[in-house]
C-alpha cells in the first residue's frame, strides 16, 4: 500500500564526503525512539521511490549512522535467477507473479557485524544510487552471515547467499565509507537505454 505521507529524502551522491565517513553505532536503547523510527520510515520511503534500488544505507541520506535497509526484492532476484537456471528450457512469464514495487518489505539492519563469509567469491556487475550512471564488476563473497538489530531493537542473525549476500556486502561497505567503485575491477558507464541493473 502506498504511504500517503511518504518522505522522500535526497540521496547523497559521490564525491560527497559523507559517503566516505565511518558510520556511528546506534545505542540499542535508542532504536525504539521517534528519531530513529522516523529515519527508518524515511529510508524505506526513499528506497521505494527509486526505480531500481534494492538497498539503502543511512550515510546515503546524509546520516552517518550504522543502519541500512534491504528490499525483499533482492531475495526475489535470487529466486528468479534460480528459477531461470532450473527451468531454462521452459517459457517464463514471471511478471504476473511479481508484487508491485511499493509492496516490497524492507529488512532493517542496525549495528551490523559480519560473523562469517564464504571463501568463494563471485563476480557480478553492480551499481549504486550514490554513484549514478556507473556500473562495475565487483567480486563479493558468495555467502555471508550478519548479526544485527532489527527496527524493534531485537538482535537477529541472518545468513544470505548470492545476490542478497552481495547487497549486504555493498551496504556494509557504505557504513565503512567504501563505495563499489573502490573495489570494481572494471567500471563502465551505463547508457540510458541499456539493460536495467539493480542498485543499492
* Rounded least distance, CB 53 to Zn ion, Å: 9
- Residues 6+ away with beta carbon under 8 Å from 113: 146, 147, 148
3-state helix, strand, coil in the chain (%, to 5): 30, 30, 35
Pairing type for strands 106-117 and 143-149 reads antiparallel
Q: Is residue 149 within 8 Å of residue 143, measured between CB atoms?
A: no
Catalytic, out of 75, 171, 185, 197 = 171
| Residues 160-189 contacting Zn ion, CB under 5 A | none
Nearer to Zn ion, 26 or 47 (CB): 47
Q: Which stretch binds Zn ion (CB under 5 A): 90-98, 112-120, 126-134, 182-190?
A: 126-134
Local structure of residue 151 (DSSP, 8 states): T
Which backbone phi and psi does 51 adopt, to 5 degrees?
-70, -25
Task: Identify the bridge partners of residue 143 per DSSP, sorted by sequence position.
Answer: 161
Nearer to Zn ion, 61 or 128 (CB): 128
* Rounded least distance, CB 54 to Zn ion, Å: 10
Residue with cell 551490523: 112
Please tell me whether residue 26 binds Zn ion under the rule CB under 5 A. no
Q: Which stretch binds Zn ion (CB under 5 A): 73-81, 109-117, 127-135, 141-149?
A: 127-135
Greatest Cα pair distance, the chain, in angstroms, is 52
* Rounded least distance, CB 67 to Zn ion, Å: 14
Please tell me whether residue 128 binds Zn ion under the rule CB under 5 A. yes
Nearer to Zn ion, 151 or 200 (CB): 200
Nearer to Zn ion, 40 or 54 (CB): 54
Please tell me whether residue 23 binds Zn ion under the rule CB under 5 A. no
The set of cell numbers assigned to 95 is 511478471
Total interface residues for Zn ion by CB under 5 A: 2
Is 171 designated active site? Answer: yes
The separation between CA 155 and the C-alpha centre of its own chain, rounded to angstroms, equals 19
The footprint of Zn ion (CB under 5 A) covers 128, 200
Q: Which residues are catalytic?
A: 171
Amino acid at each position: 500500500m502506498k504511504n500517503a505521507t511518504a518522505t522522500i529524502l535526497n540521496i547523497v551522491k559521490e564525491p560527497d564526503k559523507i559517503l566516505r565517513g565511518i558510520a556511528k553505532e546506534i545505542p540499542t536503547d535508542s532504536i525504539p525512539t521517534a528519531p530513529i523510527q522516523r529515519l527508518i520510515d524515511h529510508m524505506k520511503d526513499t528506497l521505494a521511490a527509486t526505480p531500481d534500488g534494492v538497498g539503502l544505507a543511512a550515510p546515503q541520506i546524509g546520516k552517518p549512522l550504522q543502519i541500512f535497509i534491504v528490499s525483499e526484492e533482492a531475495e526475489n532476484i535470487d529466486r528468479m535467477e534460480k528459477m531461470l537456471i532450473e527451468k531454462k528450457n521452459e517459457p517464463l512469464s514471471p511478471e504476473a507473479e511479481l508484487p508491485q514495487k511499493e509492496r516490497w518489505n524492507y529488512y532493517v539492519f542496525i549495528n551490523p557485524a559480519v560473523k562469517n563469509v564464504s571463501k568463494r567469491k563471485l563476480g557480478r556487475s553492480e551499481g549504486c544510487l550514490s554513484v549514478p550512471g556507473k556500473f562495475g564488476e565487483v567480486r563479493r563473497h558468495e555467502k555471508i552471515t550478519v548479526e544485527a538489530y532489527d527496527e524493534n531493537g531485537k538482535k537477529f542473525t541472518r545468513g544470505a547467499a548470492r545476490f542478497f549476500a552481495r547487497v549486504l556486502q555493498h551496504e556494509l561497505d557504505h557504513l565503512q565509507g567504501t563505495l563499489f567503485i573502490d573495489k570494481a575491477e572494471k567500471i563502465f558507464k551505463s547508457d540510458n537505454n541499456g539493460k536495467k541493473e539493480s542498485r543499492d
